[in-house]
Structure 1
């Protein structure tokens, strides 16, 4: 059944509002407007295991920024959005970031796995799951293992690829070059991200 014009317009407006969330997130974070920043999240946002609410989120973001960074710049890349229903959606946002941290200038590549919720007619972040590929001083390329290399901290591996099982499968299975490979059916509408996830559990995130 063809969707009504009202539903199609609502969908387009919702996509644009959700995309604006990602841009507003970066701008408010980089300019240290923490009230504007936490206002992008649902009022009862979960912060850690036991705390909820924007006040706790603001306190956590404030301490993180003051303790680690003199300045930051978050550059948003591609943004994929898929709807669960008219008031819930998921998304993936690429982000390449710069951080002034002490005597080093740290570059980072990452993506966010997002959950969005429309509450009283307005879209908010319900959750942002940051998945890091690398972080390293601009003069020290993050070649090799343990690509998360913050000054003065133990190096560790990020979770950039952990949301999607295809990464490990690609490197563990070498195709037979004498045969054409099997090709899966394209994902249904609104199922591309879930098809790629294949029910992979969300990774545990280490705070930068």
Structure 2
């Protein structure tokens, strides 16, 4: 390929990245709308056809049925507010993302607010972007009138408080509190498209479901 062809290919690749980022952002917002409006078919259609749900189950129908039961039993109403979002590409058809979400839940007589983030994996299948996985990382959940000060910030009505996993994907949180000051050596900036994975440093969290 000559230089003109190389330049055109580079422009097309960069344009594809821009369009893909926008489509993924729309995917994230569509998830919130479908979930809050309880359109479980629309919500399930945002995931890869063979999405893993847990308990040995997989597929969109299994995801739809699990979330239908979960939302029906636990919440009278919800509102998911998408915040800071980082999307980075593994390759042309795979990406990862971190999405902040501030949520409100009507739980009978209590109004529970929640702060969390999602660690997402996205995949382009047949020209369209889908969620491959959504891993929820919770910081707090508490009644609107009860600030979540102290430990065990996940405080749902009818169950014992427990710790969330908001900080567990990123080792820097614990490291910050185990040292008395800043690190002596300042590392080089993370390579482009690997900011999230550089911060994660291969850390994994097991057990959280797709929501």
TM-score surpassing 0.5?
yes
CA–CA distance in 1 between the matches of 2:156 and 2:209?
12
How many residues align structurally? Answer: 205
Gaps of 5+ in 2: 1-5
* Superimposed CA distance per residue, residues 101-120 of structure 1 (whole angstroms, 9 cap, x where no aligned partner): 01100000000000000000
Q: CA deviation at 1:183?
A: 1.2
* TM-score, normalising length: structure 1: 0.94
RMSD: 1.7
Say whether residues 1:63 and 2:69 are aligned partners. Answer: yes
Q: Is the 8 A contact 2:135 2:210 kept in 1?
A: no
What corresponds to 1:194 in structure 2? 197
Once the two structures are TM-superposed, the CA of residue 201 in structure 1 deviates from its matched residue by 1.6
Does 1 or 2 have the higher relative contact order (CA < 8 Å, sep 6+)? 2
TM-score, length basis structure 2: 0.93
Question: Do 1:162 and 1:203's aligned partners in 2 also have CA atoms closer than 8 Å?
Answer: no
Q: Could you give the per-residue CA deviations for residues 147-195 of structure 1, whole angstroms, max 9, x where no partner exists?
A: 000000111000000000000000001127xxx8321110000111111
- In the alignment, the residues of structure 2 paired with residue 15 and residue 74 of structure 1 have an alpha-carbon distance, to the nearest angstrom, of 20
Could you say which residue in structure 1 is the equivalent of 2:3? none
Moved over 3 A (4+): none
C-alpha separation in 2, matches of 1:106 and 1:69: 10
Residue ranges of structure 1 left out of the alignment (5+ in a row): none
Give distance in 2, aligned partners of 1:119 and 1:194: 23
